[in-house]
A and B are shown apart, each in its own frame.
Chain A
Amino acid sequence: MDQLANLAGGFATALTPINILWVFLGALMGTAVGVLPGLGSAMAVALLLPVTFSLDPTGAFIMFAGVYYGGLFGDSITGILLNTPGNSTAIAGTFEGHKMALAGRAPQALATSAIGAFTGGLIATTLVALFSPLLAEAATAFGPAEFFALTVLAFVATAAIVADSVLKGLTALAIGLAIAMVGIDTQTGALRFTGGLPELFDGISVLVVTVGLLALGEVLYIASKRRHPSSDRLVENSGRPFLSRREFREALPAWLRGTGFGIPFGVIPVGGSEIPTFLAYGNERRLDRKSRNPQFGKGAIRGVAGPEAAGNATAGTAMGALLTLGLPTSATAAILLAAFQQYGLQPGPLLFDRAGDLVWALIASLFVGLVVLLVLNLPFAPLWAQLLRIPKPYLYAGICTFAVLGTYAASSSLVDLALLIGIGLVGFLMRRHDIPLAPVLIAVILGPLAETEMRRTLAINEGDLGSFVAGPITIVIYAVLLLGIAGAIWTKTRRAAA
């Protein structure tokens, strides 16, 4: 097995003292940002991008491995203790998790979440380590039409299938695509939508869009409704954060079932782990109803275990899809893709050949990151919640400060700061009117790829529209897309009828 030898090499890189320090720091900072209300793991990666600029690429990506899983866990902490999940992916685990906390079992809920995240992440990362070289090899069969089909799948899935309203999802998509087109056209050198500003010739940086939409938009949104009495209440908790053997035995099947739900969704671009976490939650609830002593509604440990494992399993395989196909299947993965590009690396089938050492070190760090998080969070999760005691004005003033710092440090450009403010206002407006943000990010990241591959397909086949669906792979992708649309229509009509 080549993979095992490569992985061993990766561990050799990842386990040097300095790199362990980077994973540790990344996990620490990722959890800290994830815990902050309104900021999830996507934001953790975006805000910490500039911090990693001074590191070499390997060190930087090792740090991201920690940030990535740390942010996910931070989302769950606020969900369980405060009933405000930091990210939409943590919602499903919050229902029963917060009830457990209210019933005085917050430490157990946090432990269930942490072990669930560890289980899901571990199994998914193992699969990535074993199979991503194979997937990368298969992906070399992908031509322009195939990559275009994948981007269409990503766009339609995030904008129309996952979003509550197709109209709102498409609106977000259009805004993102417009942002993505600014700058020099790579194929012809034509200047597009730059308004003559040289600062815009290279396009609008993904970092600016992410920080503006997610961080600044959130700050403005919080400010706009600061007079609302907040119903958030931090649940006090004490006691041992460990599970009894009985609790562990009860949660174990739910962790494994949740992982099963999560794994396939990492490679399908449907905007992250909302769907698998809710599927896992629904499944556990169905099983619970059949039991003699139903626990759901009273703080069921399985209601936390299933979704948490599903969420991290999706995050794990999403990393595999990013590395092998260059296809970000969630907002967090999208920002990681930007990080790769910042270092001049293009994730995709060739990455394993071109930067094999780095990729294997990254995969090994994902394992190390999971262990670090378990060690860090099993005993200390309640401490993280103390971050929520920072008074809101200081918390958000701090977020603003870091947002402009990250943006300015990346490019030393005042135009970027102006863009940040403008995009922050757009993000505020979108939050106010319930327009999803994920399609904007997916469009900004994948827009250029979609355009290039579309034009290439047309140029190769002399404008023949049939060439988009000529190969077997494209037919499969569009069939998956149609199935997804049909499924979405079916669930929506069923919900409307109910």
Chain B
Amino acid sequence: MTTKNETDELTVETTGEPGPRAGSLAVAGVVLGVALYLTYGLITMNVPDAADSPGPRFFPVLVAGLAYLLVIALVVDAFRHRTRETPEPRTATDWKAVAGIVATLVVFTLLLRPLGWMLAGTLLFWGVATFLGSRRHVFDAGLALGVASIVQLIFSAGLGLNLPAGILGVF
């Protein structure tokens, strides 16, 4: 959870022209994406003939309408506050770490079935730790392998959860 202290920490001093608040615009972009996807879904939806009058489109139309209203409100909010508030401090964000972790997760998802949990899980732990700033690569790899193995033992061999064995195929 975001506590007040953390957000205060984020607002380090920034200089530059007052512009629209990047925050509200980014959020407005996400909500617009949601609204457009709902609209596309509503248009392409096949409604069975037997459907009663408040049909499957009724509620989504309300939500999509709310979403479009919110997009407008968020954009207005972003421009209305531009003189009073400084834009998001860019120096404060470590985008490399965020992108690295997301990339690690995507690679994990792609390799999970071919490689199996043990190797893919090791890679995941190692990748996230590295992008969070750990520099002891060899030790990290050992630790990651350890964590992945223990998870495999407890959850797959012990509790019977279905984890892909992959190329190792020993469990």
Contacts and interface: CB of A to CB of B under 8 A. Distances in A.
Interface of A: 38, 40, 50-51, 53-54, 83-88, 91, 167, 170-171, 174-175, 177-178, 181, 185, 187-193, 216, 219-228, 231, 391-394, 396-398, 400-402, 404-405, 408-409, 412, 414, 417-418, 420-421, 424-426, 428-435, 437, 450-451, 454-455, 458-459, 463
A178 B38 contact: yes
Nearest to A412: B162
Contact of A404 (B67, B97, B105): B105
Contact of A226 (B46, B77, B94, B126): B94
A400 B128 contact: yes
Given A397-B144, A459-B54, A54 B109 contact: no
Contact of B134 (A219, A220, A228, A394): A394
Given A188-B50, A188-B56, A225-B92, A174 B9 contact: no
A450 B3 CA distance: 31
Contacts of B60: 181, 192-193
A220 B56 contact: no
A265 B129 CA distance: 40
A401 B147 contact: yes
Q: Return the 5 tightest CB-CB contacts between A and B, nearest first.
A: A393-B134, A393-B132, A223-B97, A185-B56, A193-B41
19 contacts: A50-B155, A54-B159, A54-B161, A86-B1, A170-B66, A171-B70, A175-B30, A175-B34, A177-B66, A178-B38, A178-B67, A223-B94, A225-B94, A226-B132, A401-B151, A404-B124, A417-B112, A421-B102, A454-B59
Contact of A167 (B48, B73, B155): B73
Interface string B119-148: 001001110111111100000100110011
Nearest to B40: A193
A463 B55 CA distance: 12
A277 to B, nearest CB: 14
Contacts of B109: 414, 417-418, 421
B15 interface: no
**Chain B binding surface, main DSSP class:** helix
Contacts of A404: 105, 108, 121, 124
Nearest to B4: A91
Interface string B30-42: 1100100110010
A171 B75 CA distance: 12
B26 interface: yes
Given A167-B74, A189-B48, A223 B131 contact: yes
A27 B134 CA distance: 31
Contact of B94 (A38, A85, A224): A224
Given A393-B132, A412-B162, A187 B98 contact: no
Contacts of B54: 454-455, 458-459, 463
Contact of A224 (B7, B95, B126): B95
B10 interface: yes
Contacts of A224: 93-95, 97-98
Nearest to A450: B59
B51 interface: yes
Given A171-B31, A429-B30, A430-B27, 11 more contacts: A167-B74, A181-B38, A187-B52, A188-B56, A190-B48, A225-B6, A226-B132, A226-B133, A393-B134, A417-B105, A455-B58
A400 B125 contact: yes
B53 A459 contact: yes
A219 B113 CA distance: 24
A392 B101 CA distance: 14
Contact of A433 (B26, B155, B160, B163): B26
A393 B47 CA distance: 49
A187 B58 CA distance: 12
A393 B63 contact: no
B98 A223 contact: yes
A426 B95 contact: no
B24 to A, nearest CB: 7
Contact of A231 (B9, B50, B93, B140): B9
